[in-house]
Amino acid sequence: MKRFVALAFAILVVGNGCKRLWPGEERPLDEAGLPPGAVLVPPSAPLASAALDPPAASPTTQVNPAAQAGPTQLVPLSFASLAKAADPGVVTIISRIEEVRPGGRRRIVGEGLGTGFVYDKAGLVLTNNHVVEDGTEVSVKFADQREVPAKIVGRDKPADVAVVRVEEKNLNPLLLGDSDAIDVGDWVVAIGNPFGLSHTVSAGILSARGRTHDDVKGLDPSGYFNFLQTDAAINQGNSGGPLLNLKGEVVGINAAIRANANNIGFAIPINMVKELLPILLRDGKVTRSALGVIVDPVNEAEAARLKRTDRKGAYVKLVVPGGGADRAGLMAGDVILAFDGKTFSDPNQLRWLASLGGVGKTVTIRVQRADKMFEVRVTLGPLTPSQDEEESPPRMGPLRP
């Protein structure tokens, strides 16, 4: 199975009036060693946090100096009212693979079951891409056993998200919550169809945040993953189902589990999904953009060299010749600290921000080079998939270690 281990933002952006520089030809620098057009900024210049960052504490929050935390809440006496209210909005997704036989006869040669949930009264249902991508015929079954045909409105394989539509009225949509507002240790509830056992409810806590393909082995490395981890029991068939907070709001879409583990599951943060929804509803797919760099995490040695007190940002390992970053004068060894006015913690978050920036859009990038910090404008190009990015996202079930 092919592996793609670099975090790549490719590829060529060609603009009118720009001198073409061949690979290996040096970019011009000014007397300060910065690209032409770069603007020096003080290290303390403020920036907004990216949506994927954990929310910062309010400056007015009173912290208990002894415990450094508020009082621990007891487990709810029952999740029954939450489950009863949410359950009508949870559906079974049936994806059938149809084969056309000689003479035009058709027959079903495969069938898969997953989970989804209504999020809009117009009949819009969210689920995982891997639940529906192989299906030639998709239908939705409600809690009252009504089964109706569904149409795929849009899907995105790299984020493993899909939207389907049903022509039904009087639906019970679930509210989409704020996945940045839920904390590790908070209670969560999962509803789904594990092993075909429809409308199974399980409860647990949010175990961790920010899990990537490095933590969940077997995922497509070219995908975009910033999973919420939970110990609420989810199994094969839970794919596409909601992960709820105690208000009954959806904070994640259950998507994967750890093989040979007890109750280690992963959900796509709903805030990531919210960013994709307008694009999927409008275009049916996501056309991703790219900076034109290959980046790594900022390691301890680089942080020390740059005299940084943290390791946030993305270390530029390679600049793709002819790409937007190359034309803007970025160099290997630079550290990208902010994208279009938003800070980020690691390269995975930069990949996400750059991928949704928009092909042809010009954004401001904050960069540290040696002891200087500057901002430069970069025009984003299209993200061109590598031939090594052909692995499919895994189905819900045991993942290969």
pLDDT in tens, 159-189: 999 999 999 988 999 999 999 999 999 999 9
The per-residue pLDDT for range 240-249, each reduced to its tens digit, is: 999 999 999 9
Question: What are the sequence ranges of the domains in the chain?
Answer: 7-15+34-49+289-382, 79-284
- CATH of region 79-284, choose from 3.40.50.720, 3.30.390.50, 2.40.10.120, 3.30.460.10: 2.40.10.120
Q: Do residues 325 and 353 lie in contact, with contact meaning Cβ atoms separated by under 8 Å?
A: no
Q: Residue 279 phi/psi, 5° resolution?
A: -70, -45
The residues annotated as belonging to the active site are 130, 160, 239
Q: Report residue 110's pLDDT band, with 50, 70 and 90 as the boundaries.
A: confident
At residue 272 the predicted structure's pLDDT band, cuts being 50, 70 and 90, is very high
Q: Which residues have CB under 8 Å from 326's CB, separation 6+?
A: 21, 27, 292, 319, 320
- The bridge status of strand 342-343 relative to strand 335-339 is antiparallel
CA atoms within 13 A on the CB side of 209: 18
Q: Which of 19-23, 168-172, 220-224 has the lowest mean pLDDT?
A: 19-23
Query: Can you tell me the mean pLDDT for 204-213?
Result: 90
Give the pLDDT confidence score for residue 397 in this predicted structure: 40
Q: What is the dihedral of CA 196, 234, 265, 173, to 10 degrees?
A: 90
Fold annotation for 7-15+34-49+289-382: Pdz3 Domain (2.30.42)
- Sequence letter at residue 332: A
- Over residues 268-283, the mean pLDDT reads 96
**CA distances from residue 198 to 120, 190, 291 in whole angstroms, order as listed:** 21, 12, 44
Q: Is the pLDDT of residue 10 over 90?
A: no
- Provide the whole-model pTM: 0.80
Mean pLDDT of the chain: 82
